[in-house]
Chain A
Amino acid sequence: MNMTSIIFSREFKSYFTTPVAYVFIIIFLVLAGVFTFYLGNFYEIEEASLKAFFEYIPWLFLFLIPAITMRLWSEERKTGTIELLLTLPISMWQAVLGKFLAAWAFTTIAIMLTFPIWVIVNILGSPDNGVIICGYFGTILMAGGLLAVGSCISAATKNQVIAFIIALAINFILLLAGFSIVLDAFSGWAPEMLVDAVSSLSFLTHFDSMAKGVIDLRDIIYFVSMIIVWLYATAIIIDSKKAS
């Protein structure tokens, strides 16, 4: 069997050995439901779509994804199993990728379990299911990007609480990079090119078009390169910090 998949399956199973995973999924589903049907004025807008769902899900991820990633590497460093893992005949990249993919698979399952919401929408009306599938695709891609950020932060500290808080802060900035709240901090002094660059880094800008049913290759490339860059940073940080 391929090394990455061996690491992946050990890590993936470990999510389900404690009740935390189930609690997490339940919280996620309840919040997704509340946001969609309640806060999203689902019944008032009288339009059969998952617009509200996709609008709120980035904000759910803001908190829930750091909760998934905080232990990813911190725990390995704290318990010393990182020494075991990295003296096995695997490359650093296989270890980083295997663990990341397990976190991504777990998150994808949580996302998929929101299907009752989709069923309800289909019962209540006739939504454009193409748009919804596209939205789900975007959601999973965005989750991958946020998870990669969390993986990198988790590699940098043994303390899970710190890993959670920092990942949350960085995810917040990355989500909002295209909004005036972040851009205003730059626009006063920074050259326009930099402001544009920051704005183009925004998770939300890239996610929004997918949530509306538009698949643009550039958005996909954006998320995939986000994932690669943050995982690459994860590997570098582990390599330099593993001893301490």
Chain B
Amino acid sequence: MISLKNITKMFGSFTAVNDLSFTVESGEVLGFLGPNGAGKSTTMKMITGFLTPSDGQITVGSHDITEEPVQAKSIIGYLPEGAPAYGDMTPEEFLIFIAKVRGLTGSKVKERIDAVIKQTHIQDVLFKPIDTLSKGYKRRVGLAQAIIHDPKILILDEPTDGLDPNQKYEVRKLIKAMAEDKTIIVSTHILEEVSAVCSRAIVIDKGSIVAYGKPHELEERSQYYGAVTISFSEDGDFSDVITSLEQVEGATSVKFDEITERFTTFPTDKKNGTDLFNKVSALVESKGWDVKEIHLERGRFDDFFRSVTAGDLESKTEEQCGDKPSVPAKQDEGAQQ
């Protein structure tokens, strides 16, 4: 179990993490999301005892991380951001070193090292200095190091960053398989990863939680949830499509995506998506449209993510646009004087 109570982290006068509280139970995989600089890594560094919170309390297992740091650290496996490792060592030497510090002895060392080598697929690079490994392999060595002592608690900061698609798939499978008897926190920028591996997700922005829930619940909060999307087999005259769709009962608006060439009809009531779907299907039939695809949207995580975190991004660009003209104006004044 991991529990954070009112955690705040200040760097000088800058608040990187602001009054964060949440609990993760054993068996859960918590997805940690947020834009760059949101405070994800900072929070993970506090949970693993690298940074000390400016305020609040963190409990890992049954240990307070500031009061019993060594006991707490011994049950944690941690993959820090960027997967740092001693570059002059080979993965084999590195894993032996970590295994010893983690208290493994005798035949257990080899046993566990063999197991994690298989789990993270690093057989091929075992005897090359870590400095010479590709980014993806480095990350996998970092992951191997984090799970070598079969920890109760696992904190992974962007574990799939830099991995090829096959390895991403493998690592997700691994995380899911380990979840059963562990408490896991994973940060990521890959939103489909959240639905794939996480039982719960937290979105943070500027150090505060802006959304919390099961992945499908968060998806349902996107405006696309319950919307109906259609696309046509051939190019043609779609001039009346939008107006026709808009007139369907229970529709509020219609959006045409120029890249995917799809029409999405949004419902007045998100929960009545099936209703809208039936009505749009009926319309398609009555109009005799040659439709390639028609589907009911289950909600889009990326859309939801943007809606809760991009607010400040838009207002910032507006501000900057507003500011720009005044700069040359001032310079002109200066020149005239």
Contacts and interface: CB of A to CB of B under 8 A. Distances in A.
B113 to A, nearest CB: 15
A242 B50 contact: yes
A90 B45 CA distance: 16
B87 A83 contact: no
A83 B80 contact: yes
Interface stretch (A10-18, A100-108, A142-150): A10-18
Nearest to A5: B100
A1 B109 CA distance: 13
Given A79-B87, A81-B85, A88 B102 contact: yes
A3 B98 CA distance: 11
B86 A81 contact: yes
Kindly name the residue among A6, A10, A88 whose own CB sees the greatest number of chain B CB atoms within 10 A: A88
B84 A17 contact: no
A89 interface: yes
B32 interface: no
Given A17-B88, A81-B85, A81-B86, A87 B70 contact: no
Contacts of A221: none
B26 interface: no
Contacts of B45: 83, 243
Contact of A84 (B74, B76, B85): B85
Nearest to A90: B101
Given A89-B73, A90-B101, A243 B86 contact: no
Contact of A91 (B70, B82, B87): B70
A24 to B, nearest CB: 16
Interface residues of B, number: 29
Contacts of A90: 70, 101
B91 interface: no
A84 B97 contact: no
A147 to B, nearest CB: 20
B88 A84 contact: no
Given A88-B73, A91-B70, A6 B49 contact: no
B100 A80 contact: no
A242 B82 CA distance: 16
B196 interface: no
A190 interface: no
A103 to B, nearest CB: 16
Interface string B1-33: 000000000010000000000000000000000
Contacts of B84: 79-81, 83-84
- The 5 tightest CB contacts between A and B, nearest first, are A80-B84, A89-B74, A89-B73, A17-B88, A87-B48
8 contacts: A18-B88, A79-B84, A83-B80, A84-B84, A88-B102, A89-B101, A89-B103, A91-B70
Interface of A: 1, 3, 6-7, 10, 14, 17-18, 79-81, 83-84, 86-91, 242-243
Interface of B: 11, 45, 48-51, 69-71, 73-74, 76, 78, 80, 82, 84-89, 97-98, 100-103, 105, 145
Given A14-B88, A79-B84, A84-B78, 12 more contacts: A6-B101, A17-B89, A81-B86, A84-B85, A84-B145, A88-B98, A88-B101, A88-B102, A90-B101, A91-B70, A243-B11, A243-B50
